[in-house]
């Protein structure tokens, strides 16, 4: 039996949205891929390379984008959904450009929000130039501009894990998963380019959950001599030269530590985008971690409490690119099954 072509609105043109659009179009559906920025790609656009294989992020993105060049996919960039209503089992989406899209299903692929490191004032982000976040370091690696505040190659870089992750004080009790391995990846990249630069990672726990992450962690220690210190930094301050002084405790030897560094990189975690208007209008439920709640974490991961509304990628939980792609394909199948009924 040939199915009548259905319309699906995908909100968010990051890796999850792109991959889901390609899969749904491949299954014969018509897709609107709605992206508020001028280009597709989301946070992936900002990345230099990807763990664990260090494949360039651009290469991965271009390959993914080649799959959405499909007559069944209408890409709406610079577009936001201004209004969304459920009418029976269909959805009427009004864009800020005045278009009205009548969709049979909606896929939320709205991704995540990077934790604002200024909320941890003790680390001096936004106050001292030498304190940057992990995406700013990634941009330095991407643009080949890794410099200290004096414009020199840094002699020492400290990466501090778990900023806004597993931190009840800022209301984020959960682990953002990707920051540990990102720090390892970035530490290796710094050492690869500047072997004379000392690189330290300060961590609470190292969580190498994915395939080949543990190998990457060993490589960082054995091949690149990155130093891992178990202990969180308690505070940071700049001296007159712009150097950052940190106070920490090495909890493995139980000694307090005072160190200076050219750059302090805050490995920021992921937060749910709770301001997202479509989710509010449709009444999509969120979990205690504020990410979208799945109907069932085992068998209906991409379903929400609203029939016809699905989720994919990091809007459901902190997620890396590999898992996001797999999750987006799973969402596409879930939508396809729903539309068949």
Partner 1 sequence: MNPTPFDIFVLPFTVGMSLLFAYLILKYASWIWYFDRDDKLRILRGLFSLKSLKAVKEIFLESLVHRKMFLVNRRLGYMHFSLAFGWFLLIVIGAFEAHIYMGGAAPFYFPIFFVYFVPDDESFFFARGFVQLMDASLLLVLSGVVVAIVKRFYKRIVGMKSTTQLRLRDKMVLYSLWLIFPLRLLAESATCGLHGSGGFLTYPVGQLMAATLPLEAIEYPLWWAYSIDLCLFFIGLPFSRYMHIPTEMVLIFFRNWGIKLKPDNPILEEVMVLSCPRCGVCIDRCQLNTAVGNHDTQAVYFLQRIRNHEQHSAQAKNCLMCGRCESVCPVGIDLNAIRLRHRQNFTPETFVPQYNNAEAQKVDVVFFTGCMGHLVPKTKDAMVKILNASGDRYWFMDADGGICCGRPMKLAGQTAAAQKLMAKNRQSIIESGARTLVTSCPICYKVFREDYNLEGIEILHHTEYIKRLIDSGKIKVDKKNLAVAYHDPCELGRGAGIYEPPRDVLGSVATLQTTANERKNSLCCGGSLANLTLPSADKARIAEQAMCSLTANHPDVVATACPLCKKTLARTQMAPVEDVAELVAEAMI
Q: Which residues bind partner 1 (CB under 8 A)?
A: 119, 121-122, 124, 127-128, 168-171, 234-237, 247, 256, 258
List the beta strands (DSSP E) in the chain: 7-11, 30-34, 49-50, 55-56, 73-76, 81-87, 90-95, 100-103, 105-108, 113-114, 131-133, 156-163, 198-203, 227-230, 233-238, 244-250, 255-261, 263-268, 270-271, 309-311
Residue closer to partner 1 (CB basis): 258 or 341: 258
- Smallest CA-to-CA distance from 100 within 117, 116, 84, 78 is with 84
Least CB distance from residue 171 to partner 1, whole Å?
A: 6
Please, what is the minimum distance in Å from the beta carbon of residue 245 to partner 1?
A: 8
Least CB distance from residue 256 to partner 1, whole Å?
7
Rg (CA), the chain: 22
DSSP class per residue in 102-135: EESEEEE----EE--GGGSGGGTTTT-TTEEEHH
Alpha-helical segments (H) within 35-75: 57-66
Q: CB of 255: closest distance to partner 1 in angstroms? A: 11
Nearer to partner 1, 88 or 168 (CB): 168
* Cβ at position 156, least distance to partner 1 in Å: 19
Contact call for residues 266 and 115 (beta carbons, < 8 A): no
Query: Looking at beta carbons only, is 170 or 330 nearer to partner 1?
Result: 170
Q: What residue has token string 């995540």?
A: 112
Q: Which is nearer to partner 1, 169 or 341 (CB)?
A: 169
The nearer residue to partner 1, 147 or 255, going by C-beta atoms, is 255
Q: Which is nearer to partner 1, 141 or 175 (CB)?
A: 175
**Count of residues making up the chain:** 341
CB 311 within 8 A of CB 11: no
- Nearest approach in angstroms of CB 92 to partner 1 is 33
């Amino acid at each position: 039996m040939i199915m009548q072509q259905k319309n699906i609105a995908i909100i968010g043109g990051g890796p999850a949205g792109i991959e889901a659009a390609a899969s749904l179009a491949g299954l014969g559906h018509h897709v609107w891929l709605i992206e508020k920025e001028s280009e597709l790609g989301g946070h992936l656009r900002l990345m230099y390379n990807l763990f664990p294989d260090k494949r360039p992020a651009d290469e991965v993105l271009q390959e993914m984008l080649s799959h959405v060049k499909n007559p069944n996919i209408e890409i709406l960039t610079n577009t936001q959904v201004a209004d969304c209503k459920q009418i029976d089992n269909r959805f009427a989406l009004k864009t800020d450009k005045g278009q009205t899209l009548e969709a049979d299903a909606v896929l939320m692929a709205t991704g995540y929000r990077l934790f604002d490191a200024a909320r941890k004032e003790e680390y001096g982000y936004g106050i001292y130039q030498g304190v940057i976040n992990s995406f700013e370091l990634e941009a330095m690696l991407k643009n080949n501009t890794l410099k200290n505040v004096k414009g020199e190659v840094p002699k020492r870089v400290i990466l501090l894990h778990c900023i806004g992750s597993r931190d009840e004080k800022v209301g984020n009790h959960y682990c953002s998963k990707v920051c540990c391995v990102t720090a390892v990846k970035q530490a290796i990249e710094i050492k690869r380019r500047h072997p004379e630069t000392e690189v330290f990672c300060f961590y609470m726990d190292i969580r190498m959950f994915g395939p080949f992450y543990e190998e990457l962690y060993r490589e960082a220690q054995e091949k690149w001599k990155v130093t891992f210190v178990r202990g969180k930094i308690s505070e940071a301050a700049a001296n007159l030269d712009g150097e950052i002084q940190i106070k920490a405790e090495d909890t493995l030897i139980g000694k307090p530590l005072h160190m200076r560094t050219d750059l302090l990189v805050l490995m920021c975690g992921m937060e749910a985008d709770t301001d997202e208007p479509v989710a509010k209008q449709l009444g999509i439920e969120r979990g205690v971690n504020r990410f979208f709640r799945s109907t069932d974490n085992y068998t209906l991961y991409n379903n929400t409490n609203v029939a016809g509304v699905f989720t994919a990628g990091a809007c459901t939980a902190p997620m890396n690119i590999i898992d996001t792609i797999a999750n987006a394909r799973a969402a596409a199948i879930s939508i396809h099954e729903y539309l068949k009924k």
